[in-house]
Amino acid sequence: MVSLPAANYLVETRSTDAVEPRERTDFWTEHVGSYQSRMGYRYGRTDDFRGETVRQRTAAYQLVRFRSDEIEYSRTARQVREDPDGDYRLLLPLSGEIILRQDGHEALLTPGTGTLVSFASPFQCLQDASAQAFVLTIPAREVDGPLNRKSPLATALDLSRGLGRVVRSMLDGLYAEREDLTDSQFNAVSDRVVELVCMLATGDDRPDGARHLTDVETVVRRHVRENAADPGLTGTSMARALGWSLRQIQLTLQHAGTTPRDLIREERLRLVRERLRRGDCEHLTITDLAYASGFSSASALSTAFRQRFGVSPREMRKGVRGT
């Protein structure tokens, strides 16, 4: 079953029920391999393996909700070399247990926990027969760029409370509304999920003082997101609007690996990217988008956009129209 709510947004459901029992392991290996990088598969049973995936994707993100019988996925050093993939997967169990081993760490994942898995290094992932989970594919630049760091970011994330619970509810919402979303809506929610995951990856298990920094950071990020299009937005104007000192904001963002200037530029670039993907913004020129998103000129936008996303705004718009 395939439906296309929008040109760039795909929803696809696949199940082993579509083939004979003796063909199901081959079907699953080929199916998962069609949208994930090269891995090894070891099945708990080969006579009548059962599994199902519901896949939502755009050119930017992919969310898969899956269930299956017992299986072990693995990625070897050779597979990493021969099939490079630097992107992350946010793995979030909904039922059952999943054991992940990577970079000398082992995490037992159950509902209420999650982890960021890097396909850039070998791993083993073992799931029991009752496991169901979400897997969100996140481009490496969305994690490494904003946080200015490389994997591994975290062994386990607490998704049972606070920001973690918000992440879980947002993924639930993306899945529940899968048939009624547009590409820009799916991407916008995924952007916010990634933002929260990055905060979680650097904010878990810290003392009260550090948690206070996280609270301040949350407010600062929200203010920047809501006012990114304002060309007058600066660290100083932000501090004045929030009633804090500029130094306090600088220290908070320094703790998160960024600066007021970089955060503002990042949010403006996200805003431009979202508008480039929206059909109702096709009439806007790149210059219009630059000024409407807080940039001083089209050239300033194009330079920053290419540095961040590897393509120019015109190239991204052309790619979206061509899908």
pLDDT tens-digit series, residues 254-310: 877 889 999 999 999 999 998 998 878 888 999 999 999 999 999 999 999 999 999
Query: Which candidate, 54, 46, 52, places its Cα nearest to that of 24?
Result: 46
pLDDT score at 205: 39
What residue ranges in the chain does DSSP mark as E strands?
2-6, 9-15, 40-43, 51-57, 62-68, 71-75, 88-95, 98-102, 105-109, 113-118, 123-127, 132-138, 157-158
- Kindly report, residue by residue over 110-143, the tens digit of the pLDDT: 999 999 898 999 999 999 998 999 999 998 878 7
| Position with higher pLDDT, 163 vs 85 | 85
pLDDT of 7 over the 70 cut: no
Q: How far apart are CA 104 and CA 114, in angstroms?
A: 17
Question: Average pLDDT, stretch 65-80?
Answer: 96
- Kindly report, residue by residue over 195-231, the tens digit of the pLDDT: 888 877 765 434 444 444 566 777 888 889 889 999 9
Q: How far apart are CA 201 and CA 153, in angstroms?
A: 6
Quick check: 92 and 171 in contact, CB under 8 A?
Answer: yes
- First-to-last alpha carbon distance for the chain, in angstroms, is 20
pTM above 0.85, yes or no: no
pLDDT score at 108: 87
Q: How far, in Å, are 128, 191, 284 from residue 73 at the CA level?
A: 12, 27, 46
Q: Which domains does the chain have, with CATH numbers?
A: 2-194 (2.60.120.10), 208-322 (1.10.10.60)
- Look at the alpha carbons of 17, 20, 25, 26 in this order and tell me if their dihedral is positive or negative: negative
Helix (H, G, I), strand (E, B) or coil at 104: coil
- Kindly report, residue by residue over 144-155, the tens digit of the pLDDT: 765 555 544 445
